[in-house]
Amino acid sequence: MEILCPHCQHTLHWLKASQFQCSQCHQHFQQHAHCPECQQPLQTLSACGSVSYFCQRGHGLISRQRVLFRYLPVQE
């Protein structure tokens, strides 16, 4: 899956954890998971090498296939 820079539409490259960098404009971005139902940020639950997403607004566990990922600029 290719992730595109929200600014220049070039490919984002993974750096570490949930951080990405654009090879064209050199901006850094943080990946954020949002609920597909209410668009609110999801709580990330990590255990035994797996990651799950939980909506605190009553939508429960959200599968990775349904999560909306947004890439927001890192504030330096």
Per the structure, the complete domain to which residue 59 belongs is given by 12-73
* Pairing, β 50-55 against β 60-62: antiparallel
- Give the span between the Cα atoms of 76 and 70, in whole angstroms: 18
pLDDT tens, residue by residue, 14-23: 998 889 999 9
pTM of the model as a whole: 0.82
**pLDDT the model gives residue 37:** 96
Domain annotation covers residue 5: no
CA separation for the pair 36, 75 (Å, rounded): 25
CATH code of the domain covering residue 55? 2.10.290.10
pLDDT tens-digit series, residues 26-43: 999 999 999 999 999 999
Asked whether residue 51 is assigned to any structural domain, the reply reads yes
Give the number of domains in the chain: 1
Mean pLDDT of the chain: 93
Q: Which of 1-5, 18-22, 40-44, 63-67 has the lowest mean pLDDT?
A: 1-5
